[in-house]
Structure 1
Amino acid sequence: MRRITPFLALLCVLCALGGCASMPHSGSVREAAKGGTKDQGPEQQVRVFAVPPKPGEQPYGMVAGFLEAVTSDEPDYTTARAYLTPEARAKWVPTREIVVLNTIAKIELVAGADERTYRAEVSGTRVGTVDSRNAYQPEQQVGAPYLATFQLHLGTDNQWRIADLPDGLILSNAEFHRIYRSVNTYWFATSMPLGQDVLVPDPVYLRSRVGLTSALVRQLMNGPTDWLRPVVETAFPAGTEPADRVVSIEDNRTARVQLNRQARLAQGKGCERMAAQLLFTLRQVSGVDSVSITGGGTPMCLLSDDDAAHYDPARAAKTPGPTGYFIAKGGMVNVVPGANGNPPALPGPFGDGTYKVDQIAVSRDQFRRRIAGIDTGGRKLWVGDVDGHGEAQEWLNTAPGSLSSPTWDGRGVLWALDRTRNAEQVLALYEDERRQITKVAVDVEGIPAARITDLRLSSDGVRAALVLNTGQVLVGRVERRVSNGVAAITIAAPRSVLPSLVEVKAISWNGADRLVVLGKEGQGALQPQIVDIDGGISISVASVNGMLHIAAPDGADQPLLADSGEQNIYQLSQGNNWTKVHSGTYPVYPG
């Protein structure tokens, strides 16, 4: 659950805008950017009021005043509309999109055909766009120019007004992050095994001081963003809408959500699933521990944090036992030690030297945790139980030096890259009840497999993070289908997360909604960054000389891990400092 102090929330925004190089705590980094509490500090309570146009305001002042007025906390932009002619007021749709510029827009006036008209050109460098579904997309071209045209007209009352303008808002990056807040709505992953429902976060940007709690409920009623929609589903019956008074927060930290009669079509387990979506969505901003649903005035169900724990996308990270692993001298797998402890070798063939490996991945299974290892020759992929029981099984055998990037999703599917020359492919492998291995060649939409250098799957199995040989980090959605008993998997609609990077060494999922990326921009040094999966917010973390790999947990309680060219394992400690814990390479958390 994301609960932070107002100071830390403000610090994270400043980091996102100013390229912060450090954070005050390692364990709090991933909590910070989207956290929030019911009791917010004074800096979050400050409201911004719009200023209406002055009598006799000239064309430049009209455009500048309008661009300033849309940054206010007015829910319906009443004052901003006062800068428009009646016809423009009727046509302008402020929610169509948000253009985010790196700085405040530049305004240039161009004389019109006569003395009663002017054209204003509003320009800047675009860094991102928010669509009508409130989804953010970073600009793919670094330094992309933006130009919009405003037409101004001098009315019969001798007052200038804006007669024509583009739909949507134009905001600087600083204004955007002051006005809007990155929050997640939650949806159920499709095609999950029976009894393994898991929620998937869908990041959106909503106005932080204009009914945020109610806006989140309405966002849920309207469905997921267009990009995520093909791989998730909702528990809310069609036609479900909020009632007049949407949400009330009670003293016992229960959110009472009032919906219309259509909600009553979801009874029993269906109501619980609706409540789970609401609970995970609302607790980001309102500090609630439980959700109660009323449908058409009739109480339906109540769900608490504890009762909803099995829907948590980070549930595997909360399984008791060791969670961090690395490869020690001789290609043997060890467990990351606790404070002042020596790293124990993993029991069984991966820890006793029977199988010597140089890349590993540990599954996210709660009840049967497995380890996959690629041999030092990059040819064989072995899989066995983490506890050492039973024999390890060879899942793959291909050309020498071809295999890399093993990674497990949360569905028990093992993924890897096969870089056999002229036959490169992304592979998904899983075991059936008879212990037979099915291998699926995964199609990556629009990208040849030869360009992919690294791969990591999210805990819900719905999203895949890819690294390309051009230094790009992409996130694609994972679409699964079965036709005539044959499974097919596609990584669809891959989109760039950090377009400014020119080189990427390593990536890791940090929970269900963030990545940790080790990369560099331009001629700069390699720098770890924690980035939201929509690319909206990134925070820099301290680096280690010669850093090669980085690993992040699905949960919030474990530190980041890294290794270096000197074959040392480090963990990120309090104060944003890296501390050596042992000699070794290739640290991983389950995933």
Structure 2
Amino acid sequence: MCALVAGGCAAIPAETQPEAVPRERTGQPTQDVPEPAPGLDPLSVVREFVRASAQPTSDYAAARAYLTAGARAKWKPDQTLTVIEDEFSTVYVPENEQASGTGEEVVMVRGQHVGRLGSDSAFIASDEPVLEPVRLRRQPNGQWRIIDPPPAIMITVSDFAESYFRVPVYFFAPDSSVLVPDLRYVVARPQSGLPARVMDLLLSGPSNGLVGAVRNPLGEDASLESNVTMANDGALVVPLTGVGEQSEQEKELMAAQVVRSLQTVTTSRIRLLADGTALVPGHIDWRPSELPAYEAQASPSSDLPGLMTVGGRVYSLGSGAPIDGPAGSGEYQVESAAQSINGDQLAVVERSGPDVALRVGNYGSEGQLVELRGRSMTRPSWRPAASSRGESGELWTVVNGDTVVRVVPGADGRWVPQSVNASEVLSVGGISGLRLSRDGTRVAMIAGGQVVVASIVRAPDGTSVTLRAPRVLRPGELDSVVDLDWISQDTLIVATASDSVPVARVPVDGLRLDQFNSSNLTPPMRGITAAPGRPIVVADTTGLWTAGDVGDVWRPHNHSRPDAMPFYPG
């Protein structure tokens, strides 16, 4: 984190905070920092040290003020940031665990982890307890100071929210032109330095959790030729180098990466240069509104109202009528179904005796029976098509809770199942739900009743797929999940069997949890669906309800039925 702050702010010569601290001077504050209040007891010194750690300026000079002179010079906290709950305590360790020398005390910081900010500036949720010993020594002037500080910076979640700013940094889906947000966090102040810090993150590549799951047109050779500056005419100048050999098409994708990544931290025009000239010939200044609709392939058309399964048939959420074809006529005993993002394809899990089977085909037509059977299958989920006019060539399901399968067209055009390496996810628990993100780079699952998000990494030759870097979101809070869906590319909507949190919204990094108004709902929930720009539809014990946002009161759906299970395309 120290390296990130120094690197981002070094590109702003007009500002003095935060300053880049030369490596040989680490531990020596570069500005005057007030000494702690006199007479603090050891417990208070440690608490104030944690609070001061929220100020990263000048190599955490405010926190170093609580250390002895020797510890200030030696302390080199690692590049991770430990985020803890606001309510934490400092207590003396038992007498038999205290330091043997006189004039010393060992204080334990006790609390609960929220997570940590990694060296890649991405947040990883955690609910482990905090038990961090801190050793102090009384100084000749009678003041207590820390002689053995923790190896990582500790910061409360409220201080983290105030001191760090969340920015989506953008990359591309591996085989389409869909932009993919990668949630990262940068030091919030000074605000004028945010564009430089965001560019540092973008040029460093995707976060560890998305490595191998996204494509980076900027590549490893791209860098800043000089500082990110504001021109006299108000444009933000981003002078790139190392991209001159790329095609104009690739440079347009680079422009999209930069402009979309910077749109949350500046309203200025972005002047994109490559070795002193326009990055894209004939187009030097950019605004987000000038970019193509790169997310269009990842969002269902407004012409598709969504569907629901009722009594073994598929119905329209828009009209309430059964859909055309065998899925709506009752020819199949439908357990669950999924419509492709463009609406042209339909996958159906049907009951066949004691087992279930999968059918895949065109919407409104008879589907091909796939050679895949089991005691149970999760509702299928479609991967987006490679182009806006193409059909999807892949859908996923989980068989018997322990086998993740993707179904793809074979050489003869028939759909065939292929296994997905999901060993890391299965270590969390059996999988009872799965939804592919509509950009095709992540998957959200219900494993052991918890929400797990993982990245999808494909072998270069396309022969194998692995679920990598699984993260459990809000462990301990979301532990009775019954259904989930993607409300946007980086945010999930979750339905649970809990009376206290029946419906919640959570970002893919799990930093926060927004609970929906539970008025009118009758727990437990049975299902939920969401999509960009669409009302959320939830199924409880009485039927279907809709809401637009967290504070909205749930309203009855126009075509509610007691056993209906809703789903939007995807």
TM bucket by the smaller chain?
A: 0.7 to 0.9
Q: What does 1:544-555 align with in structure 2 at a 5 Å threshold? A: 544-546=521-523, 547-553=525-531, 555=532
Q: What does 1:112-511 align with in structure 2 at a 5 Å threshold? A: 112-115=99-102, 117-141=104-128, 144-152=129-137, 154=139, 160-190=144-174, 192=175, 196-210=176-190, 211-246=193-228, 248=230, 255-259=236-240, 261-287=241-267, 291-301=270-280, 302=283, 303-306=286-289, 308-312=291-295, 315-317=297-299, 319-328=301-310, 330-337=311-318, 342-365=319-342, 369-377=344-352, 379-386=356-363, 388=364, 391-399=365-373, 401-411=375-385, 412=392, 413-419=394-400, 424-431=402-409, 434-448=412-426, 451-468=430-447, 470-481=448-459, 487-500=463-476, 501-511=478-488
What does residue 28 of structure 1 align with?
A: none
SS at match of 1:271: helix
SS at match of 1:77: helix
Q: Distance in 2 between matches of 1:472 and 1:536?
A: 15
Q: Flag the 1:467–1:86 CA change in 2: closer, same or farther, 3 A.
A: same
- Does structure 2 conserve the Cα–Cα contact (< 8 Å) formed by 1:379 and 1:397? no
Write the letter of the residue equivalent to 1:199: L
Which of 519, 528, 553 is equivalent to 2:503? Answer: 528
Write the letter of the residue equivalent to 2:109: V
Q: Flag the 1:184–1:550 CA change in 2: closer, same or farther, 3 A.
A: same
Q: Distance in 2 between matches of 1:128 and 1:532?
A: 14
- Does structure 2 conserve the Cα–Cα contact (< 8 Å) formed by 1:409 and 1:459? yes
1:70 aligns to 2:53 (yes or no): yes
What does residue 28 of structure 2 align with?
A: none
Q: Distance in 2 between matches of 1:494 and 1:149?
A: 32
Q: Which runs of 5+ in 1 are unaligned?
A: 1-48
- Does structure 1 conserve the Cα–Cα contact (< 8 Å) formed by 2:125 and 2:471? no
Deviation of 1:562 (Å) = 1.5
Deviation of 1:467 (Å) = 1.2
Show CA shifts across 1:210-264 (max 9, x none): 4333221111112222222122232224343335532549988x653233x3243
Deviation of 1:373 (Å) = 1.4
Q: Distance in 2 between matches of 1:287 and 1:395?
A: 52
SS at match of 2:207: coil
Write the letter of the residue equivalent to 2:465: I
Deviation of 1:272 (Å) = 1.5
Deviation of 1:199 (Å) = 2.3
Identity %, equivalent residues: 27
Show CA shifts across 1:148-197 (max 9, x none): 32444626x7765433312332122222222223332122233x1xxx22
Q: Distance in 1 between matches of 2:99 and 2:474?
A: 41
Q: Distance in 1 between matches of 2:231 and 2:540?
A: 48
- Does structure 2 conserve the Cα–Cα contact (< 8 Å) formed by 1:381 and 1:395? yes
Show CA shifts across 1:542-584 (max 9, x none): 342142100010x1x2110112333x33221575122222134
Write the letter of the residue equivalent to 1:576: D
Q: Distance in 2 between matches of 1:287 and 1:349?
A: 52
Deviation of 1:476 (Å) = 1.7
1:565 aligns to 2:538 (yes or no): no
Show CA shifts across 1:273-300 (max 9, x none): 2221122222233346x64312343332
Q: Distance in 2 between matches of 1:493 and 1:295?
A: 34
Q: Flag the 1:283–1:474 CA change in 2: closer, same or farther, 3 A.
A: same
| Normalised TM-score (structure 2) | 0.80
What does residue 16 of structure 1 align with?
A: none
Q: Distance in 1 between matches of 2:540 and 2:44?
A: 56
Deviation of 1:81 (Å) = 2.8
| Greater mean deviation of Cα atoms: 544-553 or 442-451 | 442-451
| Greater mean deviation of Cα atoms: 242-251 or 391-400 | 242-251
- Does structure 2 conserve the Cα–Cα contact (< 8 Å) formed by 1:256 and 1:292? yes
Write the letter of the residue equivalent to 1:121: M
Which is strand-richer, 1 or 2? 1
Q: What does 1:532-543 align with in structure 2 at a 5 Å threshold? A: 532-543=507-518
Q: Flag the 1:319–1:95 CA change in 2: closer, same or farther, 3 A.
A: farther
Write the letter of the residue equivalent to 2:453: V
Between 1 and 2, higher relative CO (CA 8 Å, sep ≥ 6) is seen in 1
Q: Distance in 1 between matches of 2:50 and 2:154?
A: 7
Write the letter of the residue equivalent to 1:490: T
